[in-house]
Chains A and B, each alone.
Chain A
């Protein structure tokens, strides 16, 4: 499933890795201290990363 654009606001990200852990499709990975989107084409738009990010640092846009 595609059509999702995942935006990471690096200024807000504190690298807690909650989004990486709870993404059911392993779309995200840690890049040292901030999260990086590695497989955006696998995203199913479940919104878990956006809902669970405590730092307002990740957004899933519908494209």
Chain B
């Protein structure tokens, strides 16, 4: 019954640094369950992250881990994967790290369709650096640098990933724990770039500035506003106002994978020489 997470966590690392109620811990549990479900050999698994609250995640996991420069998780992961295509590469990071500071690396990893699983924890804010607004902060919401409300339109990470060329894109929330490991499992098994966006809660930097009385309010909002993609097909645009779709949003299997293409190129050039 009780799941043995401790075998996947480095000894002495718990309790973790995340704030009370922060959803990153729920995502980490989901990732551990997904890695177990795929029976990944921990010596052949690299977990890469940038900087931020969410990027602290690999530090707790007992696998090969790489904690890199801010936003550069996708770039380092591409390097790891190209050097050693046998390696299972999983990227973790937040919305600011993945789509603002590392937006460039993110879209180009998607474009190449390299076999990486990117888990983006979208908590709508830069949590660790002081609650500045990120490209994912909803319009009108407050952050430490937008005290009168955020005037900017918002990024939709899943649509961005689909547009940039990722071949498996899914979205879920921290309030749907069983779906997290299901989708990450599908993402790991998918050959090509898979992006799993997990909508998350940040009670410390986002919640208290935006009239969420508690972490429970934020979790209930995530539960209330999530609409499974299949159910949304039968709903009207008015019913979908303010909601977001969850589940597998895009899945394509025809597009060639980058490391295979690269290996074929090396082989062709060597044979030609």
Shortest CB–CB separation between residue A34 and chain B, in angstroms? 11
Q: Chain A interface: which size bin?
A: 20 to 34
A-contact bits for B170-182, CB 8 A (1 contact / 0 none): 0000110110000
Interface presence of A25 (CB below 8 A): no
Q: Which of B16, B19, B24, B219 contacts A18 (CB 8 A)?
A: B219
Is there an interface contact between A17 and B216, defined as CB atoms closer than 8 Å?
A: yes
With the chains together, A21 CA to B174 CA distance in Å? 15
Interface presence of A24 (CB below 8 A): no
Is there an interface contact between A56 and B29, defined as CB atoms closer than 8 Å?
A: yes
Q: Kindly list chain B residues whose C-beta atoms are within 8 Å of the C-beta of A22.
A: 219
Q: Specify the chain B residue showing the minimal Cβ separation from A22.
A: B219
Is there an interface contact between A14 and B2, defined as CB atoms closer than 8 Å?
A: no
Interface residues of A in 6-63 (CB under 8 A from B): 7, 11-12, 14-18, 21-22, 45, 47, 50-57, 59-62
Q: Kindly list chain B residues whose C-beta atoms are within 8 Å of the C-beta of A12.
A: 14-15
Q: Kindly list chain A residues whose C-beta atoms are within 8 Å of the C-beta of B2.
A: 7, 50, 59-62
* B interface majority secondary structure: loop
Shortest CB–CB separation between residue A2 and chain B, in angstroms? 14
With the chains together, A61 CA to B22 CA distance in Å? 25
Q: Which of B6, B25, B214, B216 contacts A54 (CB 8 A)?
A: B25
Shortest CB–CB separation between residue B208 and chain A, in angstroms? 14
Q: Kindly list chain A residues whose C-beta atoms are within 8 Å of the C-beta of B3.
A: 50, 59
Is there an interface contact between B177 and A51, defined as CB atoms closer than 8 Å?
A: yes
Q: Kindly list chain B residues whose C-beta atoms are within 8 Å of the C-beta of A51.
A: 26, 29, 177-178
Q: Chain B interface: which size bin?
A: 20 to 34
Shortest CB–CB separation between residue A44 and chain B, in angstroms? 12
Interface presence of B21 (CB below 8 A): yes
Interface residues of B in 208-257 (CB under 8 A from A): 214-216, 219
Shortest CB–CB separation between residue A15 and chain B, in angstroms? 6
Interface presence of B272 (CB below 8 A): no
With A11-B15, A56-B29 already in contact, the answer to whether A18 and B1 are too (CB < 8 A) is no
Interface residues of B in 122-175 (CB under 8 A from A): 174-175
A-contact bits for B1-27, CB 8 A (1 contact / 0 none): 111011001000011101111111110
Binding site for B on A (CB under 8 A): 4, 7, 11-12, 14-18, 21-22, 45, 47, 50-57, 59-62
Name the 3 nearest CB pairs between A and B, nearest first.
A54-B25, A16-B21, A14-B20
Binding site for A on B (CB under 8 A): 1-3, 5-6, 9, 14-16, 18-26, 29, 174-175, 177-178, 203, 214-216, 219
**5 A-B contacts (beta carbon < 8 Å):** A14-B15, A18-B215, A52-B175, A55-B14, A56-B25
Known pairs A18-B216, A54-B21, A60-B2; list 4 more (Cβ under 8 Å).
A14-B15, A16-B20, A54-B26, A54-B29
